[in-house]
Structure 1
């Protein structure tokens, strides 16, 4: 099941409308609807916000509706404080687990890129401020 389908299913289970979700996430209804239709890729931050609305960890959001369980150090993951987790899966679910992990890695890379851009911008501002002081 794709992440957008999981989000829609969870929203319906929690008896929330798309308007309710958009309001809770601080976004437009149109923008939220695009997430559910899979028309846009959500950032990791947005997925964390969505998981908070459903009162679950982001790992649970990724695993929702799947047969595999998430394990960390031989016990079920209860928080997302660690990046060191493995999906315990049967062979038939291995491809799904790999896809989920690739999605998470993609979002991690996006966040690192954003961080680098912010740092670069701050470095430029600092350089300009130093020039103004001299």
Structure 2
């Protein structure tokens, strides 16, 4: 996740608008919005200020490890906008386990249906043979 994406997630998690954050920073809304959209490179002094206002360590913003944002989001007590999906590592593992279980069940169903098809095909063959005899 890139810095501008992390900034957006963290801002939304705090339930702040771009306007709210820009005001806290003392910046123009347009300036902050460009940073959040990834349209401009952010200088270290501005990144320091952002980290300070958001209450995070600057390393959390520049760390290449996405666990930082996931941990931040996991502790988020605000509603994120509809359509935003954030899952912790634990939640992802749980969802994966559920999906694998569903796939195993579907595989069993498919195997059962394939066996039924074979039995029906055999019945058709037998019926044709008895009808011609």
Higher helix share: 2
Bigger radius of gyration, 1 or 2? 2
Q: Which has the higher contact order (CA 8 A, sep 6+)?
A: 2
| TM tier relative to shorter chain | 0.3 to 0.5
Structure 1 length-normalised TM: 0.47
